[in-house]
Amino acid sequence: TCLDRIFNYTADFICILIGGNDNGASGTIGTFSSTSELASLGESLVSETNISSNYSGTKFIQAISHIIRKIDAYYYNFRSRANLTGSETESEKDIKIEAVKKPVIIICTDLPQKRNNSIDAFSLEANWKRKRLAIIEACEKYNFPYLDLYTEVTKSWKMDLEPFWTSPTNMTNNRGIYTMDGLHPNKYGMRFITTLIADKFNRIGNAN
């Protein structure tokens, strides 16, 4: 699974861009709080999933929360991951734990998309905003670091100038300013995003 790939990494920093294949349509998002902005938008109140079992939720926010809690549970289980037996000296224990220490991880809010046409569910600004709100709500509930990529991108990119996706993705059919095709950032878009991610990691590192 995708989580297994994350867990198998030995990186010091992991950045997760999540929810790109969810369209964010009304009624599909859910919320954990009756007083949340999502609730005011008509999203229904949902319960948490059981992370000891396979994901069984039906709402976007449940999927986000499930992933966040699985990541936290895995990386904080030092005794199991470090194969501690209880017979180690302090220095031996430190060496084992250091080898499996938790990387710095951030979740990114989703990027805006332009698929097919202006009425496509993936192309609607209201749907982009719902996904953003759900990711932030889940991250803040568990004090999980996040980067509000959606807000930073939509402040700087003029999405009305980006193309709607056309098959195939190439520089003839799809020639955006920050995206190749309304979906995937081009080198200018990637440069913009990479700067934001690097700055976020740097600020987390300085705070620690």
- Can you tell me the distance from the alpha carbon of 54 to that of 126, in angstroms, rounded to the nearest whole number? 30
- Can you tell me the distance from the alpha carbon of 94 to that of 41, in angstroms, rounded to the nearest whole number? 49
Q: What is the pLDDT of residue 1?
A: 64
Determine contact, residues 93/104, Cβ cutoff 8 Å: no
Q: What is the pLDDT of residue 208?
A: 58
- Can you tell me the distance from the alpha carbon of 113 to that of 20, in angstroms, rounded to the nearest whole number? 9
pLDDT (tens digit per residue) in 95-143: 887 777 778 899 999 999 999 899 999 999 999 999 999 999 999 999 9
Q: What is the pLDDT of residue 131?
A: 98
- Can you tell me the distance from the alpha carbon of 158 to that of 178, in angstroms, rounded to the nearest whole number? 9
**Averaged confidence pLDDT in the chain:** 91
- Is-cis flag, bond preceding 185, omega within 30? no
- One digit per residue, the tens of pLDDT, for the chain of length 208 reads 678 877 777 788 889 999 999 999 999 999 999 999 999 999 999 999 999 999 999 999 999 999 999 998 888 777 777 888 888 899 988 888 777 777 889 999 999 999 989 999 999 999 999 999 999 999 999 999 999 999 999 999 999 999 999 888 887 878 899 999 999 999 999 999 999 999 999 888 766 5
- Can you tell me the distance from the alpha carbon of 97 to that of 77, in angstroms, rounded to the nearest whole number? 10
